[in-house]
Structure 1
Amino acid sequence: MTDDARENGRRERPSRTRGERVRAAARTLREPRTASWVADETGVSVKTARKYLDQLVEDSVLRTVERGDQTHYCIDQLMATYREVASLQREHDREELTAALKSIRIQIGDWKETYDVETPGELRASIAELEDEAEIDQRRDVASEWEHLENRLSVVRAALNEYDLVTKRDACSA
């Protein structure tokens, strides 16, 4: 059976091409996955998945990790962070980035005070002492958001630190 025949037998998603489906799935990987896993998720052959995944590796969107005799694909976090910093610098001025940094710090400070903890890990650990399911869910959600904001904090800080350098180099001359 050919790759195309195999793919036609799977459920079709007419709004996206095979490459678009693989690229979309690859950009959401939260842990290293094989080409076979991506193929199953996107309804393409392993050969097709590997083709597009390898292109994303060449484009520094993904990187590979060898585990035993299998190649796993995962997000290239360094390049993703560089792209995010550049995007923030292009979409926001220095004052907006400074305000975002301040807002993040205030929110984290509020959580520290509210829950009397210093880290999201301590907040998660405090769940063991609770019985109220609503409070447990709330603390899990806050811990998750806190971890997200800590990551954002470092990205926004990097965007501010390099703001002058990048905006001067990024300017187009007439």
Structure 2
Amino acid sequence: MSESSRDGAQSWTESMSARDRIRAVAETLREPRSVNWISEQADAAWSTTNEELQDLVDQGQLRRVEAGKTTRYQPDYTRLLFEEIRTLIEENTREELRNELAAITEEIEEWQATYNVETWEELEQSLADGDLTSAELRDRRDVIAFWRENEEDRRLIKHALELYSDVEAAREQMTDVADRATS
């Protein structure tokens, strides 16, 4: 028995199949990457990685990008955006989304008042102030990261709210069609 198994923790090569690891790496890509790079990160054979990446392209989850003589892969960011919006709509009521939007806005307003800035970019510029302690620098860096995340969440929630009625109407139409087909 390996030491990691005795401790109750498993490495991801023990807990996930090679194909699952490849998918996990591919789904988190921030820039186009080669089969070799993905294979190395996923700790999987090149042939398995190449085959899995082709399957992901065929399924529309990845896009193939030609970079000179090298083929690279990246997520389909448009699809990911719509999947995130769909998940927000499916897992939250309109009221929950409105409440989250209000909470995010309130938090940003508190940061604006606390640091006397309008944007996270202005707060980032304040890091160059020579009179900040290391603790104040760490605090501001943390706030900048949360602020940026909040802005992304706010953007997604706004999109979800804008599309909420359309998604509800589409759902109702699908239910009506399914009901007619079973009647």
Aligning the two structures, in what range does the TM-score lie when normalised by the shorter sequence? 0.7 to 0.9
What's the RMSD between the two structures over aligned residues? Answer: 1.9
Count of paired positions: 164
Aligned to 1:78: 78
Whether the aligned pair in 2 keeps the contact of 1:12 and 1:43 (CA below 8 Å) is: no
TM norm structure 2: 0.81
Q: How does 1:116-155 map to 2 (within 5 A)?
A: 116-130=116-130, 131-155=132-156
CA offsets 1:119-170 (integer angstroms, 9 cap, x no match): 2222111111144112111111111111111111111011111111101212
One-letter amino acid of the structure 2 residue matched with residue 36 of structure 1: N
What SS class does the counterpart of residue 162 from structure 1 fall into?
helix
Measure, in 1, the Cα distance between the counterparts of 2:71 and 2:120: 33
TM norm structure 1: 0.85
Aligned to 1:104: 104
Unaligned runs of 5+ in 2: 1-10
Aligned to 1:36: 36
Q: Structure 1 residues 139 and 66, CA, compared in 2 at 3 Å: closer, same or farther? A: farther
Structure possessing the higher relative contact order (Cα contacts under 8 Å, 6 or more residues apart): 1
Identity of aligned residues (%): 34
Structure 1: which 4+ aligned runs deviate by more than 4 Å?
none
What SS class does the counterpart of residue 118 from structure 2 fall into?
coil
Q: Structure 1 residues 33 and 169, CA, compared in 2 at 3 Å: closer, same or farther? A: same
One-letter amino acid of the structure 1 residue matched with residue 55 of structure 2: Q
Measure, in 1, the Cα distance between the counterparts of 2:64 and 2:18: 21
Which stretch has the larger CA shift, 79-88 or 37-46? 37-46
One-letter amino acid of the structure 2 residue matched with residue 18 of structure 1: A
One-letter amino acid of the structure 2 residue matched with residue 138 of structure 1: D
Q: Please say which structure displays the higher CA radius of gyration.
A: 2
Unaligned runs of 5+ in 1: 1-10
CA offsets 1:53-75 (integer angstroms, 9 cap, x no match): 22222323222333222222222
CA offsets 1:82-141 (integer angstroms, 9 cap, x no match): 001111111111100111111111111111121122222221111111441121111111
